[in-house]
Amino acid sequence: MQPYPIKRLVFMDAIQAPTPAIARRMACWVYEGLLLFGLVFIAGYLFGTLTQTRHALDNRHGLQVFLFLVISAYFVEFWSRGQTLAMKTWHIRIVDVAGLPVTRKRALWRYLLAWVWILPPLFLAWVASLPPGATALVFLLWVAAWAGSSLITPGRQFWHDLGAGTLLVHHLAPEPDAPKR
């Protein structure tokens, strides 16, 4: 039996597959953070080497822009293919509301909207001049509230997914056919 072409498989999964549980989506989120740590480390080293930066505060705004672009390229490319490595591990796939693969434009829009996970608590910490421990607590409370709010959204999707017109769905890759003897 031949497996379905990827577009057909994705469409079928979007129709039949439920939204992954919030605990699984957050575990994927944490795993994605670990992968991003490595990506940022390598990208920061590359930026420092290319610009001959000798001190961490030199070119910091350039580094921030460079990291923003590298991370956006990472997410846009993998989301337009359906999954990041963390999403593959946790059997989660991203599709549009029609169940088709996400376009790069839609993936970029989702990436920009996803900054709502990070920017509000950082802005609050900056305005209130919070120490690092309090900033971490505000960040964790915000993430918990933001993730928990998905329990009241249509399809239990995250707010940025609703805004971007994307869905996170449960996805198991088809088993490869056994070799014929």
Residues comprising the chain, all counted: 181
Query: Average pLDDT, whole number, for the chain?
Result: 87
Q: What's residue 59's pLDDT?
A: 86
pLDDT band at 178 (very low <50, low <70, confident <90, very high): low
Q: Where are the domains of the chain?
A: 6-170
Cα–Cα distance for residue pair 74/93, rounded to 1 Å: 16
Provide the residue type at 60 as one letter. Answer: R
Dihedrals phi, psi of 127, to nearest 5 degrees: -65, -40
Residue 176: how many other CB atoms lie within 10 Å: 7
Predicted confidence (pLDDT) at residue 132 exceeds the cutoff of 50: yes
Maximum Cα–Cα distance for the chain, whole Å?
69
Predicted confidence (pLDDT) at residue 154 exceeds the cutoff of 90: no
pLDDT band at 172 (very low <50, low <70, confident <90, very high): confident
pLDDT band at 174 (very low <50, low <70, confident <90, very high): low
Judge whether 138 and 66 are in contact, CB under 8 Å. Answer: no
Judge whether 150 and 158 are in contact, CB under 8 Å. Answer: yes
Q: What's residue 4's pLDDT?
A: 31
Lowest mean pLDDT: which of 8-17, 54-63, 71-80, 128-137?
A: 8-17
**Strand extents, DSSP E, 38-112:** 92-96
Task: Please name the residue that has the structure tokens 């088709």.
Answer: 100
Provide the residue type at 62 as one letter. Answer: G
DSSP 8-state class, residue 15? H
**Sign of the CA dihedral 21, 37, 115, 121?**
positive
Q: What's residue 175's pLDDT?
A: 67
pLDDT band at 173 (very low <50, low <70, confident <90, very high): low
**Sign of the CA dihedral 60, 62, 64, 66?**
negative
Cα–Cα distance for residue pair 90/20, rounded to 1 Å: 9
Q: Is the model's pTM score more than 0.85?
A: no
**Strand extents, DSSP E, the chain:** 92-96, 166-170
Predicted confidence (pLDDT) at residue 15 exceeds the cutoff of 50: no
Task: Please name the residue that has the structure tokens 């705004």.
Answer: 61
Identify the helix (H) or strand (E) that includes residue 51. Answer: helix 22-51
Predicted confidence (pLDDT) at residue 2 exceeds the cutoff of 70: no
